[in-house]
């Protein structure tokens, strides 16, 4: 999580600058300076518990505040200096050193947070991010009141955030994202007035986002998405006018308006995705947001028009307004800074402006009301006429009753089920779609991998998979940071069996910080929620490279099928690298169900037990390979 180190620069550089200055001033005396003995004992005890050793270059002959800990070795960006500490040796007439910084970052440390940590009372900077720390966050952390920077991001903790953390009045940056915490954010956090960075995304936090967050006026970077917060977003947020980066979302409950945003004109990134916002887009005058680079208001109920002002905002680069209720036609001009425009799933209509087929612009206009005929069907990537609300191209003339796709695959593969899995290797970007030449199926992809210059929408592995006869199908997969939809086009109406196949190919299954990596998403078919917080590895008891299959029986009524994989903000952001999150899928097959029989188990048998779901998931494990015939119990409506 490189960004953390960058963010850390402002508080920590002053600190280490100060340390260096003091060191220089006391260069001669330093020879006599010794680390406070209780801190030495605590440090050695902590490292012993975690099975860590300092490098020889740092812990010269057992004196921790020596070597790299006191010279000008950079603690942030030097991977060889990890674990690491820095000391301030100016105490007691430059005879005593105290440990001021500790970094144990992404080192696969497994275990609890040791009690000895409370003896390192001079710590100003503690980075324990990206490990496998378990147990709860201890209340004694609240006694380390010199802390300015504190990170537990990406760990396997449990329990609530202790109230005592509110005593850390000098805190500037707090990272508790993706670390397993739950409960409410404690009211004592209202005392953290100096806080500039708060990352608390992807935990199990509940209730409303507390009002006091709106009184932490120095906040510049706030991330709270992927929790279980109830709406609305507190009105007090309108005070946070110093924010440069705001990412919230994934609310349930009451709707919010956009009013709290109007004065946040310092923003360069604003993400209010999936936030139950119901308002008119015109209620914010975006012309005042002169530094806005990234705007994501997708998956809300925002009405109004796409204004020329918004589309002409420079330096706006990424604009996600999909899945709202925007109407009207598109403006004639756009800012040259725009590279990605998602307007899918709105009520837009009218004619194409000339900019839609500009080079290097990715624009997704799927599922709107554009009337598209032969005269303009070729302006954008072909097939958009098949992906509009009222003009699915093959309505009334369905041509087939099955299709299969090898997501990310480069060539056709015959599966053990005898389907031909078609290749799906089009290089898509943050707002893209395509429809195959045969107009049998298509897909739409939305989203940009956060903080990742090279986040990839197709991933692959050369590993072989043992619990499948179709190993090759799983060596490629598609991944999306927001929303990935596969469409069946021109299908004969009737019942279909939809088989979705997955395998986690990025997070290893062992107990390392990499295994803390979590990919969690939701699955909708024909608009019905089929899986909430679907986690591939949970289905395999933590094993990666293991095939998971889900089957659903669904009805096709308009010659059209929509399979939607949706990221609801959960899961880690950055393991093993930045930008490895969001839905992943390896293969899809769809075939008509029932009338042709084809060895499917009789569906009606259990019809009385469950009328809510059309379906049933089946986890394939080695033991039940070749299982399709005995594939569990289908629940029928």
Ligand X SMILES: *[C@@H]1O[C@H](CO)[C@@H](O)[C@H](O)[C@H]1NC(C)=O
Taking the complex as a whole, how short is the minimal distance between the CB of residue 42 and ligand X, in angstroms?
A: 5
Q: Give the distance from CA 129 to its chain's centroid.
A: 17
- Residue 118 or 511 having the CB closest to ligand X: 118
Closer residue to ligand X, CB minimum distance, 20 or 459:
459
Question: Within 13 Å and on the Cβ side, how many CA atoms surround 249?
Answer: 20
Distance CA 173, CA 165 (A): 12
Tell me the C-alpha distance between 383 and 372, whole Å: 10
Euclidean distance between CA atoms 409 and 274, whole angstroms:
30
Nearer to ligand X, 350 or 602 (CB): 350
Q: Which is closer to ligand X, CB of 212 or CB of 352?
A: 352
Closer residue to ligand X, CB minimum distance, 389 or 492: 389
Minimal distance in Å, beta carbon 386 to ligand X?
A: 14
DSSP-derived pairing of the beta strands 402-407 and 587-592: antiparallel
Nearer to ligand X by Cβ, of 456 and 610: the residue is 456
Closest separation in Å from C-beta 113 to ligand X: 12
Question: 63 or 184: whose CB is closer to ligand X?
Answer: 63
Chain residue at closest Cβ approach to ligand X: 194
In our burial notation (b when 16+ CB lie closer than 10 A, e otherwise), range 383-411 reads bbbbbbeeebbbeeebebbbbbbbbbbee
**Nearest C-alpha neighbor of 515 from the set 544, 546, 539, 540:** 544
For residue 215, the minimal CB distance to ligand X (Å) is 11
Name the residue nearer to ligand X (CB basis): 373 or 390.
373
Shortest reach from residue 403's CB to ligand X, in Å: 14
Cα separation, 407 vs 585, whole angstroms: 7
Please report how close the Cβ of residue 520 comes to ligand X at its closest, in angstroms: 20
Q: Would you state the structure tokens that stand for residue 187, as one six-digit string?
A: 């009211």
- Which structure tokens are listed for 341? 């425009």
Start-to-end CA distance of the chain, whole Å, equals: 47
Closer residue to ligand X, CB minimum distance, 193 or 414: 193
Binding site for ligand X (CB under 6 A): 36, 38, 42-44, 47, 53-54, 59, 62, 64, 92, 96, 115-116, 118-119, 193-194, 218, 238, 259, 262-263, 301, 303, 325, 327, 351-352, 370-373, 375-376, 437, 454, 456, 577
Q: Show the tokens assigned to 484.
A: 């990935």
**Cβ contacts of residue 70 below 8 Å, gap of 6+?**
23, 30, 86, 87, 89, 97
Shortest Cβ 538–ligand X spacing (Å)? 24
Minimum Å distance from CB 624 to ligand X?
33
State the sign of the Cα–Cα–Cα–Cα dihedral 233, 235, 236, 237: positive
Min dist. Cβ of residue 391 to ligand X (A): 10
427: tokens are 């290089």
CB of 72 to ligand X, least distance (A): 20
Please, which residue, 182 or 391, has the CB nearer to ligand X?
Answer: 391
Residue 587 CB coordination number (10 Å): 30
Rg of the chain (C-alpha set): 27
Find all residues with CB under 8 Å of 353, minimum gap 6, and list them.
330, 331, 332, 333, 334
Rounded to 5°, angle at Cα 510 from 505 and 516: 75
3-state SS, residue 310 = helix
- Specify the residue for token string 């209010």: 272
């Amino acid at each position: 999580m490189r960004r953390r180190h960058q963010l850390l620069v402002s508080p920590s550089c002053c600190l280490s600058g100060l340390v260096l200055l003091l060191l220089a001033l006391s260069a001669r005396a330093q020879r006599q300076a010794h680390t406070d003995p209780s801190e030495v004992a605590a440090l050695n005890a902590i490292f012993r518990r975690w099975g860590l050793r300092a490098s020889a270059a740092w812990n010269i002959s057992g004196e921790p505040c020596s070597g790299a800990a006191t010279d000008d070795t950079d603690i942030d960006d030097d991977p060889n200096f990890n674990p690491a500490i820095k000391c301030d040796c100016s105490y007691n007439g430059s005879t005593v050193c105290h440990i001021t910084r500790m970094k144990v970052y992404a080192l696969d440390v497994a275990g609890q947070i040791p009690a000895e940590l409370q003896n390192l009372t001079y710590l100003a900077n503690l980075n324990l991010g990206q490990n496998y720390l378990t147990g709860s966050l201890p209340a004694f952390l609240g006694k380390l009141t010199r802390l300015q920077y504190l990170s537990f991001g990406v760990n396997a903790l449990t329990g609530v955030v202790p109230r005592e953390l509110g005593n850390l009045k000098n805190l500037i940056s707090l990272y508790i994202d993706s670390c397993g915490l739950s409960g409410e954010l404690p009211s004592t956090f209202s005392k953290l007035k100096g806080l500039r960075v708060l990352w608390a995304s992807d935990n199990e936090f509940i209730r409303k986002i507390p009002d006091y967050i709106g009184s932490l006026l120095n906040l510049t970077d706030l991330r709270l998405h992927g929790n279980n917060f109830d709406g609305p977003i507190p009105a007090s947020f309108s005070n946070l006018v110093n924010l440069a980066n705001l990412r919230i979302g994934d609310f349930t409950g009451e709707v919010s308006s956009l009013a709290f945003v109007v004065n946040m004109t310092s923003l360069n990134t604003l993400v209010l995705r999936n936030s139950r916002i119901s308002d008119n887009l015109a209620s914010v005058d975006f012309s005042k947001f002169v530094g806005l680079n990234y705007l994501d208001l997708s998956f809300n109920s925002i009405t109004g028009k796409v204004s020329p002002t918004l589309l002409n905002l420079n330096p706006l680069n990424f604009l996600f307004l999909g899945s709202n209720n925007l109407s009207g036609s598109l403006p004639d001009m756009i800012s040259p800074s725009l590279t990605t425009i998602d307007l899918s799933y709105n009520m837009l209509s009218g004619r194409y402006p000339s900019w839609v087929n500009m080079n290097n612009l990715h624009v997704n206009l799927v599922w709107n009301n554009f009337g598209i005929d032969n005269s303009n069907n070729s302006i954008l990537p072909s097939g958009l006429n098949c992906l509009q609300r009222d003009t699915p191209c093959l309505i009334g003339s369905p041509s087939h009753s099955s299709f299969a796709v090898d997501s990310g695959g480069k060539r056709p593969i015959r599966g053990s089920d005898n389907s031909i899995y078609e290749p799906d290797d089009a290089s898509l970007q943050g707002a893209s779609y395509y429809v195959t030449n045969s107009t049998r199926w298509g897909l739409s992809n939305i989203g940009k991998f956060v903080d990742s210059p090279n986040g990839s929408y197709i991933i692959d592995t050369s590993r072989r998979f043992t619990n499948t006869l179709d190993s090759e199908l799983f060596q490629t997969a598609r991944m999306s940071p927001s929303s990935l939809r596969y469409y069946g086009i021109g299908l004969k109406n009737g019942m279909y069996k939809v088989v979705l196949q997955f395998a986690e190919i990025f997070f290893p299954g062992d107990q390392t910080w990499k295994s803390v990596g979590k990919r969690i998403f939701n699955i909708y078919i024909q608009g019905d929620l089929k899986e909430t917080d679907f986690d591939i590895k949970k289905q395999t008891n933590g094993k990666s490279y293991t095939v998971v299959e889900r089957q659903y029986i669904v009805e096709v009524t308009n010659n059209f099928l929509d399979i939607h994989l949706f990221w609801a903000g959960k899961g880690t952001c950055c393991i093993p690298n930045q930008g490895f999150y969001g839905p992943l899928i390896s293969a899809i097959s769809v075939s008509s169900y029932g009338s042709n029989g084809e060895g499917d188990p009789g569906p009606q048998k259990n019809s009385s037990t469950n009328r809510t779901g059309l379906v049933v998931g089946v986890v394939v494990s080695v033991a039940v390979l070749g299982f399709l015939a005995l594939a569990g119990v289908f629940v029928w409506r």
